Amino acid sequence: MIYFYSTAQDSSNASFHRGMLFEELLRTYLRGSGFEVDINRRKTSSLEYDLHGRHDVDNHPLIGEAKAHTETIGGKEVSAFVGKALPFLVQTPPYSAVFLSISSLSPEAEDYLRNLHEKTSFRLSVKCGSELESHIREVLKLPTVDGAKSTTKELVPFASTQSIVHTNRGTFIAVVGSGQEGAFDDRFALVGSSGSTVSDQSLLQMLRTSLPALQELEAVWEKSAPLNINIPAREIPSGLITAVDWLDYRRPAGFAHFVGRKDKIQRAGALVSGQGTGLVVELKARSGVGKSSLLSVLAHQWSTAGHRVELHDARDVQSGEDVLKLIQRFVGPSYKLASFEEANDAIARMSENLADKHAVFIVDQFESTFLAPEVYTAYEYLALCIARGSWPVSMLFSRKDDLLTTHDDMLVS
């Protein structure tokens, strides 16, 4: 992922500054790639740009589109660009067509482009998500993945991901990971374009405060003696915290204290076990009627029967990287995931080893993601992967059906 931050931004103009910084980064990247391009922002605070220009060497014309959204790019957006570019693609000689996005393509969009290339003579240069990020690092001569990892080895012993952070103070690489004992990310370090770590504590704190992906992490820097870095290991609990007796009404009922809902349990079991293709199920009801209790009981019954189950509370999830770690926990340690693009293959390999069982990825309190676009998009990508596959894998999530309700963030300790 690519993140943007300006010291001049606040809650009222963050989108405007994000767009300005994206435009600046885009112009530098395209010039470094050999193009002279006019970049036109569609609206004042829009995160979408039209590109028109030419290549510096042969003056070959170019038309393109660039997006700075965090949401996954669907087939609709890609097909709309193809329709807009079509008059230029049929000219002689044809224009070069470029589609850029800092977020990943959905499986639907990937299928659309694959069919376009196989069945037509149209050729588009599409760079989205991690592919665009890697190319920007190469063109701008930013620290390599191995270089940034080596530089921050003592600060972040187990680096899980790296992201470009473009600010009005420069372009950096954020290295996110954990200590020796952590299963989930708990810290981040910043590496400058020169290859050295950043020790400006005010900048680190501003980034931590402003970027949702860093808010639950601790900033570390070179002057922090490694032996003194004592950050509690961060975990996302597997399962839900359930009631300990019949009188504990504040928590969801566990298997031992649950009665009723037999029709719902049977219906859910029939859905996830009777499908030869991927399935996504939404459990939607008003607050306080037992959605969490039902999920807890379903997870207990399925796991007891030998099925593979991942259950967690979405309120514990703070970033897209957390979702990736949860997918890793779901598919098991045999399938190492470095990006969301690898999730589909990992699920496919996992499904081949289920031995007449099924696998269910369960998310409680899903409405909490409505205020966290990066987390929502990550779950959406997983849902699309599961839904398009021919495998006994399902996703089940619960949310409140009150449109006026966002989420209840009061966790019971």
Rounded to the nearest angstrom, the gap between the alpha carbon of residue 2 and the centroid of all alpha carbons in its chain is 11
Q: How far apart are CA 101 and CA 105, in angstroms?
A: 8
**Per-domain residue ranges of the chain:** 2-133, 142-228, 255-400
Instruction: Tell me whether the omega of the peptide bond preceding residue 252 falls within 30 degrees of 0, making it cis.
Output: no
Check: CB of residue 90 under 8 Å from CB of residue 40. Answer: no
How far, in Å, are 253, 254, 262 from residue 248 at the CA level? Answer: 8, 10, 22
Closest alpha carbon to 33 in 110, 120, 140, 117: 140
- Angle (CA) 134-137-142 rounded to 5° is 150
Q: Domain 2-133 classified CATH 3.40.1350.10?
A: yes
Predicted confidence pLDDT, tens digits, the chain (413 residues) = 899 999 888 878 888 888 889 889 998 998 898 888 888 876 666 678 888 888 877 788 888 889 888 888 888 888 998 898 888 888 877 788 889 998 888 888 888 998 988 888 887 888 998 899 999 999 999 999 999 999 999 899 988 889 999 999 899 999 998 887 777 888 999 999 888 999 888 899 999 999 988 888 899 988 644 445 556 667 888 888 776 666 666 677 776 667 677 788 788 888 887 667 788 988 888 777 778 888 888 988 899 999 999 999 998 898 888 898 899 999 988 777 777 878 888 998 898 888 888 999 999 999 988 888 888 988 998 998 898 888 899 999 988 876 544 444 444 43
255-400 — its CATH code? 3.40.50.300
Check: CB of residue 166 under 8 Å from CB of residue 68. Answer: no
Is 0.75 topped by the overall pTM?
no
